[in-house]
Amino acid sequence: MQAEKLFDLRGQVAVVTGAASGLGLAITKTLAANGAHVALLDLNVDTLAAATNWVKDHGYSAESHQVDVSDSAALRTTIDGVAERHGRLDILVANAGISGGPNSRTDAGAIENVSDELWNRVVDVNLTATFVAIQSAAKHMKKQKSGRIVAIASIAGLRGDPMTGYAYASSKGAVVNLVKQASWELAPYNVLVNGIAPGPFRTNIAGGRIREPEIEKAFADTVPLGRIAETDEIMGLALLLCSKASSFMTGAVIPIDGGTVAI
């Protein structure tokens, strides 16, 4: 089969959380460019408007919704609304996430100094919101007996990672098992659930601190390829998992990390 047919998303409806910047924006762009109508969900009004305008200005189909993913009721209502307006929901990319505070190599990030407030906020966004998004999408996908769900985890969820904070690593580890658990239930409905585990990418997480030369070098030194990734480098894997090309893949969590977890 030609590549164009394998990756053709025309007529499909997608929801992407945290869609206005970073990995979410890169994924939004590739889904839209390959024919999907994309509903962009994000908290930041300005970046959401800019991202949505980019998609539309390039001749692709999109809509936008400002939503705080940690507000479970609002997230459910938004996803339900997209599915009901379009009569279907084919793709969910649960991407929204935040950093877990200082890493465990620092005094501030030591286990005894992790506050309840930080822990709860990170778990609410990184884990609970991912669960709620999958739960909401699954309801519609089970009825239509088709769908693709992709959750953005992290290599910090695959093994210990002293470069990240406790709350981040723990929440992403839980996302890995959430993907596996949901894949078992939803497989009989032809709803495929997979995860992506990125290594260090040049995004805005933690205020974009990874762009600071010292921090970038610290992360790059952990990567066999010797560098951190640009956000567009996630596009191919995301498109694979959202398309016909991954028709026999479910329950997988795939690292995209320059070889980091191979060490």
Q: What is the pLDDT of residues 76-131, one digit of tens each?
A: 999 999 999 999 999 999 999 998 888 878 888 899 999 999 999 999 999 999 99
Handedness of CA 175, 177, 182, 183 (dihedral sign): positive
Query: What's the rounded Cα separation, in Å, for the pair 211 and 228?
Result: 10
| Mean confidence (pLDDT) of the chain | 95
Query: What's the rounded Cα separation, in Å, for the pair 234 and 21?
Result: 13
What is the pLDDT confidence band of residue 207, given thresholds at 50, 70 and 90?
A: low
Using the predicted structure, report yes or no on whether residue 65 has a pLDDT greater than 90. yes
- Catalytic residue status for 168: yes
Q: In whole angstroms, how far apart are CA 212 and each of 4, 203, 215, 247? A: 39, 11, 5, 40
Own/partner pairs, 173-178, CB within 8 angstroms, 24+ separation: 174/127, 175/126, 175/127, 175/130, 175/151, 176/253, 178/127, 178/130, 178/131, 178/134, 178/151
3.40.190.10, 3.40.50.720, 3.20.20.70, 3.40.50.300: CATH of 3-262: 3.40.50.720
pLDDT, tens digit (0-9, with 9 covering 90-100), for 6-40: 999 999 999 999 999 999 999 999 999 999 999 99
pTM of the model as a whole: 0.96
**Given 60, 166, 168, 189, the catalytic residue:** 168
Using the predicted structure, report yes or no on whether residue 144 has a pLDDT greater than 90. yes
Q: DSSP letter string over 42-68?
A: ES-HHHHHHHHHHHHHTT--EEEEE--
Sheet architecture: strand order including 91-94? 62-66, 37-42, 13-17, 91-94, 147-152, 191-198, 253-256
Q: Which structure tokens are listed for 191?
A: 């709803």
Query: What's the rounded Cα separation, in Å, for the pair 91 and 9?
Result: 10
Report pLDDT for 204.
78
Q: Which structure tokens are listed for 193?
A: 């659930």
Give residue 146's Cα distance to chain centre: 20
Using the predicted structure, report yes or no on whether residue 263 has a pLDDT greater than 90. no
